Structure 1
Amino acid sequence: MKKLVSLIIIIIGFAGIIGGCITKSSKFAITNITTEKQSLETIKEKGLLTIVSPPKEVPFFFINSETNKTSGIDADIITEIAKRLGINKIEVKEAPFSNLLEKLKTDDSIDMAVGGIFITPEREASVDFTKPLYKETETVIVPKYSDINNKSDLKELVIGVERGTIFVDLAQEWKKNNFIKDVMIFESTTDLLNAINLRKVDAGIADSIVVNSFLADGGSYLPLRTLKDYTPEVNGTLGMAVRKADISLLNEVNKIIDDMKADGTLYAILVDNGLNRDNIVPQ
């Protein structure tokens, strides 16, 4: 009899422990759902969308010196998204491109990361991305009057890339396979282009959109050009990032992106910023 009573007590105690665990788990799940809802609701209540972007990321996101307003591909897209969310004000915080996603994850005041961000599996492990907005490849930049004309000419040369970009991996792979001599890392594309012009590096790998925009504007004061005979090796899509927990915001933004693709607004923004149908990502 004592054994039976003891057994019953043990069973009841065990059930109590399991019941306690389920209750805590349920509360945790409910808390998460509430947080997800409040994320979008809070943004709408404040009438303010806070984003983080690299400084002077032409042509993705930058301050137009003539109008003193934000300009660029991603700037125009996020402005339209905010408008359709019913938000009339966007606050911009700056961070180096290499620290963009980390800033998003660690600063609770920031809602989204914006500014020419390639969607990759590694990045998707730490943040969520919107549906792809547009696509592009890399390009190789060299001094305008150099004898570098194709990839094989790079074999004994030093290549520059911007820190935090997917092109760092590409350059390291080239070095590993003896396609180039070495890799030098720079903090921005502007620094990279200046270094190529000053012959601190022999060539550079960068976003084709960035380089094409730079050259279309006359190349500023830097006599540079792209490699004449080169087939891109990176074909990627770009999007905007949100924290993993902000599911309601992500879903709402994705609906807006679908609408912008359907009504032609997204394509019009891309064309206004010098892109074309080659950059379009189908719905």
Structure 2
Amino acid sequence: MKNKLLKVITGLGLLGLALSGCGEDSREKDSYEAIMGKGEIIMGLDDTFAPMGYRDSSGEIVGFDIDLANEIGKRMEVNFKFQSIDWALKETELNGGNIDVIWNGYTITEERKEKVSFSSPYLDNSQIIIVLKDSPIKNKADLKDKTIAAQQSSSAVDAVMADEENVIESFNNGEIVQYPSNNDVFNDLASGRSEAIVVDETLGRYYMKQNKEIEYRVLDENFGQEEYAVGLRKSDDKLKQAIDENLADIKEDGTYDKIYDKWFEE
């Protein structure tokens, strides 16, 4: 009886290892051929991140990254499907196969490089500090004992955490108050619950332009320069190459500049 039980347990163990191996092989497989076969790339985004990718007044997803992706999709002869995701779970969604790319003002960071592969960078950005116009805050030093907010799992949080002066320790409670979306972050500042916020410059300046009824001010100091790129699974070398080649082409032939001018007037 013991021998039979041992054989059953051993057999189940081997089956588990085999299934585990199959799953691992599937995750490590380049998905380019499968994507081209179905003619669709699923793009994960935070649909509140204007002007990169967001829902307009009619509920349609629009933005700079959307136009850029659609142009590259046209050249690759595939369609982009835009899928809203929880931004805090973006790498999990990508590596779990629920989306094919992260493309929504996605900043290159060392931490993210451990989880994903990045395309060539296509847009410069910085992490700016915004306060209300009449705020006494003039620089980073003035953030001491103040309540500071940013989007959860964003590069804004990463930039503050990586600050060489370790300024976060001087914040109220030694932390950043984090919200699911940048809309929540701006609302927190406007209501006075936070006294300063840290956001991507592209989003921040666009938001302020669209909400002129509230007077904001951008500090001269910021939390560093960075670059946006497309995030892909580390196994998707062919897809990365295709996106990189088409990004280079649209920059060379002037299409990129036309899309840029549409979304960034200043």
TM-score between the two structures when normalised by the length of structure 2: 0.81
Residues 1:43 and 2:32 aligned together: no
Shift of 1:40: 2.0
Matched, 1:159 2:151: no
Counterpart pick for 2:241 among 233, 238, 251:
251
C-alpha displacement of 1:145: 2.7
CA distance in 1, matches of 2:217, 2:152: 20
Shift of 1:57: 1.6
**CA deviations over 1:225-262 (Å, ceiling 9, x no partner):** 1334x222311110111111111111111111111111
Q: How many Å apart are 1:193 and its aligned residue?
A: 0.5
CA RMSD of aligned residues (A): 2.2
Partner residue, 2:218: 227
Residue 118 (structure 2) aligned to one of 129, 149, 155: 129
Where do 1:156-235 residues align within 5 Å?
A: 156-172=145-161, 173-176=166-169, 178=170, 180-181=171-172, 182=174, 183-219=176-212, 223-228=214-219, 230-235=220-225
Aligned: 1:99 with 2:89: yes
Write the mapping of 1:68-83 to structure 2, written as runs, cut at 5 A.
68-83=59-74
Deviations 1:210-230 (A, max 9, x none): 1100112234x5x241334x2
Whether the 8 Å contact between 2:126 and 2:223 is mirrored in structure 1 is yes
- Counterparts of 2:85 and 2:167, CA distance in 1: 29
**Is the contact between residue 52 and residue 104 of structure 2 (CA under 8 Å) also seen in structure 1?**
yes
Deviation track 1:7-38 (CA, whole Å, cap 9, x = no partner) reads: xxxxxxxxxxxxxxxxxxxxx9xx88x942xx
CA deviation after TM superposition for structure 1 residue 168, in Å: 1.4
Give the number of equivalent residue pairs: 236
| Larger Rg computed on CA atoms | 1
The residue type equivalent to 1:75 in the other structure is I
Contact 1:60–1:115 (CA under 8 A) maintained in structure 2 = yes
Question: What residue identity is the alignment partner of 1:46?
Answer: K
Distance 1:234 1:275, change over 3 A: farther
TM-score of the two chains, using structure 1 as the length reference: 0.77
Cα contact 1:142–1:226 (8 A) shared by 2 = yes
Cα shift readout 1:105-164 (whole Å, capped 9, x = no counterpart) = 11x242111111101121111111110010111111112332223333222211111111
- Paired residue secondary structure (2:222): coil
Report percent identity of matched pairs: 22
Question: Would you say the 8 A contact 2:150–2:199 is kept in 1?
Answer: yes
Q: Per the alignment, in what secondary structure is the counterpart of residue 118 of structure 1?
A: coil
Tell me if 1:84 matches 2:87: no
1:267, distance to aligned residue in structure 2 (A): 2.3
Corresponding residue to 1:144 among 118, 123, 133: 133
Question: Which secondary structure state, in structure 2, belongs to the residue aligned with residue 249 of structure 1?
Answer: helix
Q: How has the CA–CA distance of structure 1 residues 47 and 132 changed in structure 2, closer, same or farther, with 3 Å as cutoff?
A: same
- Provide the rounded CA distance (Å) in 2 between the counterparts of 1:270 and 1:261: 10
Q: Secondary structure at the match of 1:248?
A: helix
Q: Which runs of 5+ in 1 are unaligned?
A: 1-27, 277-283
The aligned amino acid for 2:181 is S
Gapped regions of structure 2 (runs ≥ 5): 1-21
Change (3 A) 1:120 1:137: same
